[in-house]
Amino acid sequence: MALLRENAIDPIIVEYLREPITKPQLKELLKKLGFEPRELLRKSEKEFKDLQLSNKSLSDDAVIDYMIKHPKLIERPIIVRGDDAVVGRPAENIFNLMQ
């Protein structure tokens, strides 16, 4: 947040742990990120292991459905600027978005 504000960017914050993300919104984020659904998963979360999301036979659609039902699985923060987005970790990724 400080990095964004230091660069005169006042972000709109969407707390998808509190406000559920919809499937179309998540698909749009994935498109802006240029990610496949599995690339946005937090693999260290207990739910990742419990739901056996390392199972390669799960379709992308199924992975997205799990992320919607269990938003803790979604990597964060995600910063969106226009038609582009980056995961804000490491923070250097934010610089790529600001250029």
All domains of the chain in start order, with CATH: 14-98 (3.40.30.10)
Chain segment 21-44, per-residue pLDDT in tens: 999 999 999 999 999 999 999 999
The pLDDT value given to residue 90: 80
Measured between alpha carbons, how far is 11 from 93 in angstroms, rounded to an integer?
A: 16
Measured between alpha carbons, how far is 86 from 95 in angstroms, rounded to an integer?
A: 10
Global confidence as pTM: 0.84
